[in-house]
Structure 1
Amino acid sequence: MAAKYFSVKLLKVKKASVVSFDISALYNRIMTNSALATQIAAAEVTLAIQDTKLGALIAAQAPLNRLRKGDYFANLVRSIISQQVSVAASRAILARVQAATGLEPKRILALNPEELRALGLSRPKAGYISDLAEHFVREPGIFDHLERLADDEVITELTRIKGIGAWTAQMFLMFTLGRLDIFAPDDVGLQRAITRLYGLKEVPSRTQLEALAEAWRPYRTVASWHLWESLTHEPYHTT
């Protein structure tokens, strides 16, 4: 179960940070939620202590749980559809594909490439999703062992499938397996959110992004959830 990865401890700090938000409200989340939400809230408190700008952002948002329950196939299809397109376009295409196929492997294979393209998929993505569906039809439990693997091993396993690269594998780790310490430096949304949150004049390099995210270990996934969430609202300002 994904929930087992949310075993968290508050990190000790040598001295209290100066914060511009009410951290007690974050502590209250720990006390008032379900088991999984409580564990995520504990990670949020730790992030707020480690990075006060991020902490202010977290405190301004509602508690988040971005885990997607459901089958592996459907979640991988969602990620493939989301590759290199806007959130709005991804949602529109996904809605059409889901309505036509229920995101079920056999129903996807029942459609020819042109029918898949008519749903809004590019030719390569139609091929990737059909190929993935063939894998799941031949071996329905093809990825059942992934929960037992380390993060890097999961990425290695997934990227053997055509159309699944590092970003798609990282999204699977973050949203489906619930791995807490994943960061996707090539994600455009995260790049935008980080640039805005820290008041940067330009998007940091990949190396700079990875260095910045080191401060969020071991909860880079939870930090990423909140950064993505910030893009759905009015620009967030810090002082």
Structure 2
Amino acid sequence: MVRLDTGNRDHGGLCGSAVPGYVFRATGVVALSLVLSACGYQFRVQGAGPTVGGAAEQTTKRTQTPRLAILPISNTTYEPNFEIKLANYLRREFSAGAGAEIVGPSAGADLFLSGQIMQILLPTLSFDQTTTFESRVEMLVSVKIEEAKTKRVVWSQVAKGTSEFFLTQDLQFNRVLQNRALEQAGRFVAEDLASRFLLFLDAGELDKVLKRPVKAEAGQGIQPRPESAR
């Protein structure tokens, strides 16, 4: 509600008198505000006021925060022990931005996340007849989340992370650069999966899946949707 308070009106010819109609036609509300301000009028707005964007903020459909345990990740690639790093990335990202509480496997988890590093490729991006100048890490990871009580799959995804790196004449240093690119690609995958799971929760999809009869879920996991993180 807008209330018009009057103050001192002895400021000139227009003060306390009717505002001519052409003012509205020529300059609209802005000119009227300036005139009334000069005459001692003040606008005071009461109430919450309008919402930016014209619509109220939508609330999420999530009913509770699920307790999620991340199980060991399997690795079928040539990069040994990278599954340990990826599991740590997943724990960090899902804890920070996926709407879930990360707990240990034996701490009464509602959901279990398991996954697999399916593929790691190193395509060449820039080279000449004798030297490679730039390469890329491409990592493909699949994950699934199961309900702890029924073991049915409630969510599954395939994500791809990439990261480029330059090569030098030092082979040992090149390996260091490659490892950094691997780690970055793994973080991209974890960030992407955490963001997707947050959207899944906020849309209320997890609650819908959990309310379905268990028999209806037999042999029907949610099909993964391959997407690229970078």
Kindly indicate which of the two structures has a greater share of residues assigned to strand: 2
The TM-score bracket by the shorter chain reads under 0.3
**TM-score normalised to the size of structure 1?**
0.26
**TM-score normalised to the size of structure 2?**
0.27
Higher relative contact order (CA 8 A, sep 6+): 1
Kindly indicate which of the two structures has a greater share of residues assigned to helix: 1
